[in-house]
Amino acid sequence: MKAFKTLLIFFVITASILGLVVGLNWTAFKVVFSDPESFSEGSEWIEKTYSLAGLVEFMEAAPEHVSLVSLNLTTPDDSILYNAETPRVMGALSNLFLLMEFERQYQAGELNPNDRIHREEIDAFLVPTWYENTHRNAMRSVETTNGTMALRDVRYLVSRNYSQAASDWLFFYLGAESVNALIDSVGAGRIEPWIPGSGLQIAVIMRDEDTEPHTEIARLHEMDTEERLSVAKTLSQRYVQDSDFAAEVGQRAGHIRNRLLADERATHRLWSRAEPLKLAEILADVMEGRFISTNAGARILEPFGWAFEDPVVQQHASEYGALFGSRLGFQTGMDFGTSVYTGNRFAQVLFFDDLPVAFYLHMSSNHMNQDLQRRLIYDPELRRLTRLASEQRLTPRDETDAPTAAHTTF
């Protein structure tokens, strides 16, 4: 009888814990089991997400999903270029141009960083069911007074915390035409115009009722960039200016549990793209003071400085800054730093693009891509292996070939 009671208590406690976990995470739980095909996609690669060596092997084996540009500004011959001219979805990395335009307007006396901004102005760009918790967490990280914040603090919302709503707000605050004129000027035709994500999401939500999401996404994808930009701008502006339209979007948005993972990833393909090499070169120009001035470059990159708070990074780098983005199927990173061992200074961008869902979910949970990127600045062995992968020389083709990353533990 005593054993029975003990067993009963065990099952009650287990059931309670399971109920609590599933209850608190019902959205994720429901999505996983309503779209099992997407959730299992790329499961054969999952073990590669558990180590840096495995991730480097994935880079070599799946070039269609990866681009890396690691520019050694001190010793250019040491640079690593892997699929450097393959256009990739920028995601959060496009916010570098918001920070650059912010600084340009500050230098021109066109904005005052100390102006107060009402939080509700930014919240207005938040589209229901699209990364709402990420936005709310970002907003909690910024000091507010009576519902307002300093304009300069919006820079942290679009960099360290990557709120899409704040990014879209800043895009329109600075002026859509001004931001894209800057991109056109520095991008030399290799960077697509900045497109507000809220408008893309609303376009999918407000599709014709007899149209499936994937059909609408395909239609948007077939548009040229300027047409897609026009559609997204119009919808974003209407959303924040027309309360009736905003209410209709909210009603039509439904619930995230009804959205297929494949459709969400396909929506992210609609974001602006850039050639990785050009993006890294622009970052290097900002770092080296070739955009406006050295002081201006330091102010542009100041919101990236949170990444240098890590004591481990401080042991190996004399400076470090980063901007990372993560959206279903896409992991992006832009960073810069100087190795304490060699004094070499680096500007880097890394794209994991249009990833299989299962692989993405595992990699995004352990931030292995971020560790890989920063260690390329100061870890010579990881840099050597990554170079081999970029040259398709990492994995042995026969028994006489050199050892692979599988023989190295990171």
**The predicted structure's pLDDT at residue 12:** 45
CA dihedral 24, 29, 30, 32 (to 10 degrees): 160
Q: How far apart are CA 16 and CA 11, in angstroms?
A: 8
**The predicted structure's pLDDT at residue 198:** 97
The pair of structure tokens assigned to 351 is 């794209």
- Give strand ranges (E) for 90-191: 116-118, 148-150
Element (H, E) at 299: helix 294-301
Residues 6+ apart with CB under 8 A from 218: 266
Concatenating the DSSP letter of every residue in 334-391 gives EEEEEETTT--EEEEEEEE-S--HHHHHHHHHHTHHHHHHHHHHH-HHHHHHHHHHHT
Scored b (16 or more CB within 10 A) or e, 329-358 reads bbbbbbbbbbbeeeeebbbbbbbbbbbbbb
**The predicted structure's pLDDT at residue 34:** 58
**Cα–chain center distance at 172:** 20
Q: How far apart are CA 327 and CA 264, in angstroms?
A: 9
Q: Tell me if 30 sits within 8 A of 257, measured CB to CB.
A: yes
The mean pLDDT values, 10 residues at a time, for the chain of 410 residues are 49 42 41 60 78 93 97 98 98 98 98 96 94 90 90 95 96 98 97 97 91 91 96 98 96 77 92 98 98 97 96 97 95 98 98 92 88 96 97 73 48
Coil, strand, or helix at residue 323? strand
**The predicted structure's pLDDT at residue 406:** 44
**The predicted structure's pLDDT at residue 397:** 64
Q: How far apart are CA 135 and CA 152, in angstroms?
A: 17
**The predicted structure's pLDDT at residue 400:** 38
φ/ψ of 329, rounded to 5, equals: 90, -10
